[in-house]
Amino acid sequence: MNPRLQSAGIAGILTGVALVGEFIFFMISGFTPEVSNNPAAALTFLRDSGVYLRIAVFLGATGIAFRIIYVAGLAARLHANTPTRAVATLYFGILGSFGHGLVALSLYVGIPMFVALAARDPGAAANAWGAFNVITSGFDGIGNFLLGLVLLTAGWAIISRRALPVGAGWVGVLAGIATVIRVFATGTPLAALAFAAFFPSLLLAIIFDIWAGIALWRAKE
């Protein structure tokens, strides 16, 4: 095993595990787009079930920290054979993680603040939630777009140069395509396609992170 890549490999595995945990707690919470887009329903939800959402975004933020370590190791592994794509993987990964981090920590910090504001002034809280939702949706969009490019770029590099298992590369390419479709089809006549791509993109991203993490952990050179 290559000790320089072992920590990155472990971080990749933990990135995938954190993503699974985040998804599970989002499902448990019941925080759907319909709830999020209705200020009155969203504020009631935050008061009654916000703890589950806070756990989900805490796991999301933890996964983001792991992802930066993992992407750095992945880029180092790809650099010898595909230096341009390796650098693109690194920067897309860091900037995409930043976008997702803004969403996760804005929600983690903001939920108790919205609950307290709603108790004092429901009207102000409802108005503030609308603006907050738009901003965090934008952060989420840039995060998804750039992390979709990470999956595409790294997957393409793996397929072309065999730096990691080729199967993982194809999973990365498919995950990247599905993720980018989710971003740009939302709010268009192809919105149904974005909805259909959500679960496959998430599942494929988890598989890629864990598979690539195991491959980095086992790398011998």
Residue keyed to tokens 């730096």: 163
Rounded-to-integer distance, Cα 164 and Cα 161, Å = 8
* Residue 17: strand, helix, or coil: helix
pLDDT at 29 over 80: yes
Residue keyed to tokens 């429901």: 122
Residues 6+ apart with CB under 8 A from 54: 107, 108, 111
Report pLDDT digits (tens) over 162-211: 889 999 999 999 999 999 999 999 889 988 998 899 999 999 999 999 99
136: number of Cβ within 10 Å: 17
Percent of the chain with pLDDT over 90: 89
